[in-house]
Structure 1
């Protein structure tokens, strides 16, 4: 199986544990998110990093340059990844996936009833919820999941979430610079 993984970081191999992808927001720590579409993987390889440096235009009264902080745009890499027939749990929809994950989540809101992901409440235990959900799926023999037409930045896309980098081998690297 061939998938594409976008990252702002240069990788030589995949870590055993999920590294987190900012684009995935509350699902970033569930696993390593990939797609079968090269163009969609590019959106995961574009981001920013916070940089501190001496200013060329702002100075203190004594003439010393001020140190300024800003977000610098970064264009990273898209990795072509090979996996040898992983055991993946396939969800029929994003909604079914989120409903199965919900029992592990603790939400906060002004509302006093039982909250779900549909309420758009604040998720208080993202890392814990993702870890418990991943462990539950791993106990069922799953190496990861497939979510068809998952809503991401570039539009609906078939997304793969792999729980461990052990089964992923980098076949090729494409720099976006």
Structure 2
């Protein structure tokens, strides 16, 4: 199967820590996100990185430049990858957005806070108190059922509809093409 993987920095072979994607922060730590078409992968490869650098306008009394935090825009790559057929949980529906089914499934592991009401869900736009823990428990639950990830069919993303894949490991991907984002139409 061919899918697309948008990343903000070039992948360093064998180093999963090098994968930086622009994914909504509440779901980013579940796994590695892929799309079924190249254009839909592009937004995952564009983002910001906070770096430290010497200031050109701010100086200490001794004349040394101060070190400041600066947000730099990263424009990365889209990888066309081949994966063997994975055992994926599939979220699909003819009546609702499949992304909603995924979020409802994940809600079982989320602790939310809001002054408005009790029994909150992601739809209430509350504060998620245990993002990483919830994502880990959700992922572990799917792994315990022998899933290697999940597929959200016909997900409305950015400027269109795509199949959205989340894989728990990128060990089995085979890169067939590296496309700089500036070349993605």
Shorter-chain TM-score range = 0.7 to 0.9
Matched, 1:25 2:25: yes
Structure 2: give runs of 5+ residues left out of the alignment. Answer: 93-97
CA distance in 2: counterparts of 1:18 and 1:73, whole angstroms = 17
Distance in 1 (alpha carbons) for counterparts of 2:9 and 2:23: 13
* Equivalent residues of 1:20, 1:29 under 8 A apart: no
Return closer, same or farther for 1:17/1:52 CA change in 2, 3 Å cut-off: closer
Residue 72 (structure 1) shift: 1.0
CA distance in 2, matches of 1:79, 1:4: 6
For residues 56 and 23 of structure 1, the distance between their equivalents in structure 2, rounded to whole angstroms, comes to 32
Equivalent residue, structure 1, for 2:38:
38
Describe how 1:47-62 pairs up with structure 2 within 5 A: 47-60=47-60
- Residue 124 in structure 1 maps to residue 129 in structure 2: yes
For the pair 1:106 / 2:111, whether they are aligned, the reply is yes
- How many equivalent residue pairs? 177
TM-aligned CA deviation for residue 20 of structure 1 = 6.2
Q: Give the unaligned 5+ runs of structure 1.
A: none
Superposed CA offset, 1:111-135 (max 9, x none): 3411111111111111111111111
Q: Distance in 2 between matches of 1:52 and 1:33?
A: 28
- Alpha-carbon distance in 2 for matches of 1:107, 1:20: 26
TM-score (norm 2): 0.84
Using the size of structure 1 for normalisation, the TM-score is 0.87
- CA separation in 1, counterparts of 2:65 and 2:165? 47
Contact 1:88 1:143 survives alignment (8 Å): yes
Tell me how far apart the structure 2 counterparts of residues 53 and 17 of structure 1 sit (CA, whole Å): 23
Matched with 1:2 is 2
CA contact (8 A) 2:56 2:65 kept: yes
Paired residue for 1:163? 168
Q: 2 CA distance for matches of 1:124 and 1:21?
A: 22
Could you report, residue by residue, the CA deviation over 1:9-52 in whole angstroms, capped at 9, with x for unpaired residues?
Answer: 22144656895634232110111100011111111111111122
The root-mean-square deviation of aligned C-alpha atoms, in Å, is 2.4
4+ residue runs over 6 A deviation: none
Match of 1:173 in 2: 178
